[in-house]
Structure 1
Amino acid sequence: MKKLLIITGAGASLEFGMPSVKMIDDLLEEWALSILPLKSDNQKSLYSWVKEELTNYVSQNPNNRLENIINFENLLYTIQNLYSISKDEHWKHFNNRLKPFIELLDFPEVISFRKEKKADSSDFHFLHTYLIDKLLEHFRIKCQSLLVDKKGEIELLQSFFNSLKEEFEIGFINLNYDNVILSALPDLSTSFNKVSGEFSREELYDSNWNFCYHLHGSVYFDMKGGKNTEMHKILWNNDLKSQFSQNSSGRNGNYTSEGLAHLNSNIIAGLDKTNQLLREPFGPYYMQLDKLIFEADSILFMGYGFNDLHLNKIFPFIRYDQNKKRKVVVIDWASDDEDGLNFRHDGWTFGISETIPFNSYEMGNGKSRSPQPISYFKRNKTLEKSYNPEYPLSIWYDGVLEACRNSEKIKDELR
């Protein structure tokens, strides 16, 4: 049986009640305001101060698309850098490689634990760790009631995946923290022992498919710890209502050779993910990717924004493999007033071309080479397709659930 590799991004979970990137940014602003408001304006926080400064800087270039730069992952990374650099200055460690060449802005005064003070490295670190832990708690709450709140949607997704399984062995590279995929297909292997919760390399390196690898972490990841040498060890906890151990602020950081301190968290967020992935189980998952892509006969991207360079750069070899032509399908959502790939030039289309090289001038509706707007494909329940058999690519623009309702059309493109 042929193999189908499925990559799921945030867009694959939106219709199941999970927060969008914009919603997460709003939540982080709300949570930051509760712990580190500005002294000068109690309607703003240290998080919103960083956001405003970054926005003002990025806006100086009119060619920048703010939505691609001013998002919660970029902001968390900026906060993380501010902690690392200002810590070097505050504690006189003299370790950061950039500090000799830059001067930091004057940080604002904040109210921290009811005391007024000028923000320093400890505040940026506290902000970063607090937001990460709150985000994971928020997802767990959402996921606890998923099978009740979105029962019909999960059943539709399950039917779609079961339809794919009639013709393919499937495997998921899941970039989301939520349990949407596992709610639809609970028998997928995660490479964690279901009894002990321990990560199992034996299961990971088994050649069988039917897996779901949570590359950036999961609501089920727990850091109960064990021996002193294993205090940051990640285990699987299937009971989302139980007490989870995360406490990012109370754990040692993971320092890179460049002087950046990453968190020991159950999830990976922010930028510089290639350094963050160097932990179990993230590293073993990541090291399997090239093999899985090579084994795959077809590839399906669901709701992936093509923003993770550490993932994008692994795929292009499939276009130059002389032994196998892999069909590629992208399921996403776009507004009716968007152009097709022939005229669309934004971060999303650039990300696709970087990941799966293709010629936008070879895209059409399968009947005519005349470019069509997104509204055409959504109205006709069809996909935009490449005319070039050497670079097979098809894109569905009407969201995940509507794709599930039109599963045969998706399967036709993957065959």
Structure 2
Amino acid sequence: MNKNGKQRALVVMGAGASVELGIPATIGFGNLIDDAIKADKYCAHVGGTEVYFDIRDKLRTYYASEAEAHFERIYHVMHELSQLRAKQGAVPKFLPVMYPFLGTAVTHPEQALKAACSAMLDFIYAKVSEVCDNPALPLNPLSAFFEVLEQQYVPRVYTTNYDDFVAQATQGRYFTGFTQRHGDHSDFDGKAFWAEWGKPALFHLHGSVHMGFSVPGEHQIGDIVWFDDKAVARRQARFNGSGVDRMDGTHVERGAIITGLDKLGRLQQSPYAFYYSALNREAMEADLILVLGSGLADLHLNTFLKAARRARPDVPILYVGYWGREALDFYSTIHFELEDRDIALFHELGIDLVNVAEARFKADDGWTVDARGKAAVWADGFQSFLLAPEAFTKVLLKVAAT
């Protein structure tokens, strides 16, 4: 509880909170990226287009599924293959330790792999920025949600989304850590980040379309800054210098947004290192935890949530996802067709729906209160949740009072 008497609310937001506003889902994003890769002249010139589709098709064959060969897996493969290069005369710390075993099998040109990765990131910036300027639905319900939450809590929002919908909905009044203004951008201030621990805040764990690299000469190499203008951020999103060294002799290509499968390794640079370290403390100190639209697939985030739930099981937690419009769909999935998210709900978030009677599913104004009484799940999607504020208020009182 802070000095104004309000409790702390940790809000973790994932892709499901943005899909209905127009941000493509993973599969849809992949199809759009295919088209963008074909249209990128530089990528095609250096062979990146050919490399991209070769890797995509191999993954589709490997998984026997187009959906499983999604863009984050494609990006991961391209990035990791680009690192399996042995430079003649390099000292051991710069020689990939896996090269003798895998490197000689890599036939894709390094320049082509890097060009395809760069084209993917550029398109993500372009598409997300476009949707941010023209959301598919009004943001008023999202604004109303945070206004209600602020009456009792200090919201501390950690989102894995690149879009700026939350910033728009809260009129940019939430603390981001980028407080030092310089011309067309703001620098991150690590000291202020910890000093403003008691303020409503919004942190983009995997980056934002407002983030880009600073102008050379004005900052240290690789500094990420915040541009109010998304178009400028996109122009400054590419980094042409060296990457961040890894202990296996490879490096991570610097990026202002984080994608692929090795997100944890990329969280070591600022400001992400601050966000990630703070999330652990946030989870432990929260008086309320809200997980909104997250598929619970980011294992590095689940670790903190699980630890907090085990340490403080009486802290109420609310989860908003989508299982289908009918209560029976929700009940059947939980009992007979468990997916990874459903398993994570139980094991990572400590939400027990298995031992809830069928009649209790969606029984509390659309909410399903778990068997332990300290958690509840909304199964009809994020926008549906936003349009039922009274139900949110009621279930919050119920799980907080149990």
Once the two structures are superposed, the pairs formed by residues 242-253 of structure 1 within 5 Å of their partners are 242=232, 244-246=234-236, 248=238, 250-253=240-243
Gaps of at least 5 residues in structure 2 are 1-5, 398-402
Q: Which has the higher helix share?
A: 2
Change (3 A) 1:404 1:156: same
Change (3 A) 1:2 1:53: same
Following superposition, the deviation at residue 145 of structure 1 comes to 3.6
Q: Residue by residue, what CA displacement relative to the aligned partner does 1:317-355 show, whole Å, maximum 9, x if unpaired?
A: 233325x61111111122344524233311221232342
The answer to whether residue 85 in structure 2 is matched with residue 96 in structure 1 is: no
Distance in 2, Cα, partners of 1:243 & 1:216: 15
Change (3 A) 1:78 1:351: farther
Secondary structure at the aligned position of 1:195 is classed as strand
Number of residue pairs matched?
Answer: 378
Distance in 2, Cα, partners of 1:408 & 1:138: 34
Distance in 2, Cα, partners of 1:256 & 1:393: 40
Change (3 A) 1:228 1:385: same
Distance in 1, Cα, partners of 2:29 & 2:88: 32
Distance in 2, Cα, partners of 1:91 & 1:245: 34
50-59 or 397-406, which deviates more:
50-59
The answer to whether residue 26 in structure 2 is matched with residue 21 in structure 1 is: yes
Partner in structure 2 of residue 158 of structure 1: 143
Of 255, 263, 274, 2:253 maps to 263
Change (3 A) 1:333 1:91: farther
User: Considering only aligned residues, what root-mean-square deviation do their CA atoms show, in Å?
Assistant: 2.9
Q: Would the aligned equivalents of 1:8 and 1:303 in 2 still touch at CA under 8 Å?
A: yes
Q: Would the aligned equivalents of 1:303 and 1:332 in 2 still touch at CA under 8 Å?
A: yes
Q: Residue by residue, what CA displacement relative to the aligned partner does 1:353-385 show, whole Å, maximum 9, x if unpaired?
A: 3421344422346x54xxx6xxxx49x951222
The answer to whether residue 348 in structure 2 is matched with residue 349 in structure 1 is: no
Q: Would the aligned equivalents of 2:155 and 2:200 in 1 still touch at CA under 8 Å?
A: yes
Change (3 A) 1:53 1:259: farther
The answer to whether residue 35 in structure 2 is matched with residue 30 in structure 1 is: yes
Of 177, 181, 184, 2:169 maps to 184
Q: Residue by residue, what CA displacement relative to the aligned partner does 1:119-161 show, whole Å, maximum 9, x if unpaired?
A: 4122111111221122113222322344xx64xx201111122
Following superposition, the deviation at residue 38 of structure 1 comes to 11
Partner in structure 2 of residue 299 of structure 1: 289
Secondary structure at the aligned position of 1:73 is classed as helix
Partner in structure 1 of residue 387 of structure 2: 405
Secondary structure at the aligned position of 1:193 is classed as strand
Question: TM-score, normalised to structure 2's length?
Answer: 0.85
Of 96, 111, 129, 1:140 maps to 129
Distance in 2, Cα, partners of 1:38 & 1:233: 30
Partner in structure 2 of residue 361 of structure 1: 354
192-201 or 119-128, which deviates more:
192-201
Partner in structure 2 of residue 172 of structure 1: 157
Secondary structure at the aligned position of 1:320 is classed as helix
Partner in structure 1 of residue 277 of structure 2: 287
Following superposition, the deviation at residue 226 of structure 1 comes to 4.6
Question: TM-score, normalised to structure 1's length?
Answer: 0.82
Following superposition, the deviation at residue 91 of structure 1 comes to 6.3
Whichever residue aligns with residue 34 of structure 1, its letter is: A
Whichever residue aligns with residue 356 of structure 1, its letter is: L
Following superposition, the deviation at residue 387 of structure 1 comes to 1.7
Secondary structure at the aligned position of 1:312 is classed as helix
**Sequence identity, in percent?**
20
Q: Would the aligned equivalents of 2:212 and 2:227 in 1 still touch at CA under 8 Å?
A: yes
Distance in 2, Cα, partners of 1:402 & 1:106: 48
Q: Residue by residue, what CA displacement relative to the aligned partner does 1:40-91 show, whole Å, maximum 9, x if unpaired?
A: 9xxx8422221221232234xxxxx874x42211211111111112x33x86
Q: Would the aligned equivalents of 1:156 and 1:405 in 2 still touch at CA under 8 Å?
A: yes
The answer to whether residue 318 in structure 2 is matched with residue 329 in structure 1 is: yes
The answer to whether residue 65 in structure 2 is matched with residue 81 in structure 1 is: no
Whichever residue aligns with residue 177 of structure 2, its letter is: S
Secondary structure at the aligned position of 1:207 is classed as coil
Partner in structure 2 of residue 239 of structure 1: 229
